[in-house]
């Protein structure tokens, strides 16, 4: 009977050859989850989700970041993250895994980027109707 079985079955009778292959596949799947998390391999990223969630408040956040003192800005940002991501106490698992501090950092970088873009000069020069020599 042992002569008819392959080596893995003889050593570990609970595992057949296909069972070992499934175990190896499961190990590689676990490795992929450890390396990449549960992120699907598409263009949909965590930063895009955060940007979509703060989009309705982005203008107000940009204004407050420009005007408030740093201590008050961090309190305002923490309150905004609490209202946006943890409003019902049962936030999505990926936001819970990141934690409130990391979410505040990600939101702050997106608000800073929007503030920087708002501060850049526009493409066309502003002229008066009396100085239109550049248009000739």
Mean pLDDT of 82-111: 83
Residue 16 has pLDDT above 90, yes or no: no
Higher pLDDT, 66 or 92: 66
Higher pLDDT, 94 or 66: 66
Higher pLDDT, 80 or 41: 80
- State the pLDDT at residue 1: 47
Mean pLDDT of 105-125: 85
**DSSP tally for the chain: helices H, then strands E:** 7, 0
Contacts of 58 (CB under 8 A, 6+ apart): 110, 111, 114
- The 3 state secondary structure assigned to 91-105 is CCHHHHHHCHHHHHH
- Average pLDDT of every residue of the chain: 76
Which segment, 14-18, 71-75, 131-135, is predicted with the most confidence on average?
A: 71-75
Tens of pLDDT, residues 19-56: 666 777 777 777 767 776 655 544 568 888 889 989 99
Higher pLDDT, 91 or 76: 76
- State the pLDDT at residue 21: 67
Q: Where are the domains of the chain?
A: 2-36, 46-119
């Amino acid at each position: 009977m042992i002569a008819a079985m392959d080596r893995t079955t003889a050593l570990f009778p609970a595992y057949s050859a296909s069972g070992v292959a499934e175990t190896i596949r499961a190990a590689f799947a676990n490795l992929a989850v450890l390396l990449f998390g549960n992120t699907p391999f598409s263009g949909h990223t965590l930063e895009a989700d955060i940007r979509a969630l703060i989009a309705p408040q982005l203008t107000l956040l940009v204004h407050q970041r420009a005007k408030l003192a740093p201590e008050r800005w961090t309190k305002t940002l923490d309150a905004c993250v609490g209202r946006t991501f943890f409003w019902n106490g049962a936030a999505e698992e990926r936001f819970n895994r990141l934690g409130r501090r990391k979410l505040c950092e990600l939101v702050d970088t997106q608000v800073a980027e929007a503030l920087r873009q708002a501060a850049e000069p526009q493409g066309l020069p502003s002229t008066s109707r009396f100085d239109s020599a550049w248009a000739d």
